[in-house]
Amino acid sequence: MIRDCSEELPRYEIRAEANGRWTVVDTLTLLPAATDGRDFTGLAKEDARDIADELNRSYAEGRDPLI
């Protein structure tokens, strides 16, 4: 299911995994965010939060994320 783009939620969020690690999720696709063929999964919480923050800044500014 794809989320309605008119909602004003962050594009990228972090979600806890069952193993205590964290995933950055693209809220439009509900899939893990990825770059260069690598999914942002299995991360420390602080790293996941930093990545999601940068992705959201880039998205809000209309530019490609540079991570």
Asked whether residue 30 is domain-assigned, the answer is yes
- 8 A C-beta contact, residue 56 and residue 28: no
Asked whether residue 66 is domain-assigned, the answer is no
pLDDT band at 25 (very low <50, low <70, confident <90, very high): very high
pLDDT band at 65 (very low <50, low <70, confident <90, very high): low
pLDDT band at 64 (very low <50, low <70, confident <90, very high): confident
Output the CA angle 64-22-30, nearest 5 degrees. Answer: 55
pTM above 0.85, yes or no: no
In which domain, by residue range, is 56 found? 14-60
Residue range 45-58: mean pLDDT, rounded: 96
Domain tally, the chain: 1
Asked whether residue 67 is domain-assigned, the answer is no
Asked whether residue 49 is domain-assigned, the answer is yes
Asked whether residue 5 is domain-assigned, the answer is no
Asked whether residue 39 is domain-assigned, the answer is yes
